[in-house]
Amino acid sequence: MSENKNNPFNYEQIDEMLSSRIRLAVLALLAGCEEAEFTYIRDMVGASDGNLASHLRKLEDAEYVILDKRFLGRKPATFYRITTAGQSALLDYSRHLAELLSHTQKGGTP
């Protein structure tokens, strides 16, 4: 049923990667900073270590984030940055959501 790609209600146009609240929150957080360390992301998003690691892996596989492992003193730390593809996906998602919500004012007519 994906005949009309211009139909804003076509669910196939919504990036499934960002349908997760955790992944959406992570990308939004990273879009506002140069990079963020794993524990900072965890604390800001409110996810458990394992849950966050799983979602970050998915974002990395989608090439929406890149990671950089390094040491802070003698302690290992993992930093994440949003990629250009991740920024584009987040912007597209927010535009699409704004378009969908604009139709609530119009009674659902495209």
Q: How far apart are CA 110 and CA 37, in angstroms?
A: 42
What are the tens digits of pLDDT across the range 81-93? Answer: 999 999 999 999 9
Q: How far apart are CA 81 and CA 66, in angstroms?
A: 5
Structural domain count of the chain? 1
Supply the pLDDT for residue 9. 79
Would residue 12 count as lying in a domain? no
Q: Residue range 88-105: average pLDDT?
A: 88
Q: What's the pTM?
A: 0.85
Would residue 101 count as lying in a domain? yes
Give me the domain span that covers residue 38: 17-105
Q: Which residue has the higher pLDDT, 11 or 34?
A: 34
What are the tens digits of pLDDT across the range 3-21? Answer: 567 777 777 888 999 989 9
- Orientation of helix 38-45 relative to helix 49-61, angle to 10°: 110
Half-sphere exposure of 70 (CA within 13 A, CB side): 9
What are the tens digits of pLDDT across the range 39-70? Answer: 999 999 999 999 999 999 999 999 999 999 99
Q: Is the CB of residue 20 less than 8 Å from the CB of residue 64?
A: no
Give the single-character DSSP code of 1.
-
CATH number reported for the structural domain that contains residue 67 in this entry: 1.10.10.10
Would residue 7 count as lying in a domain? no
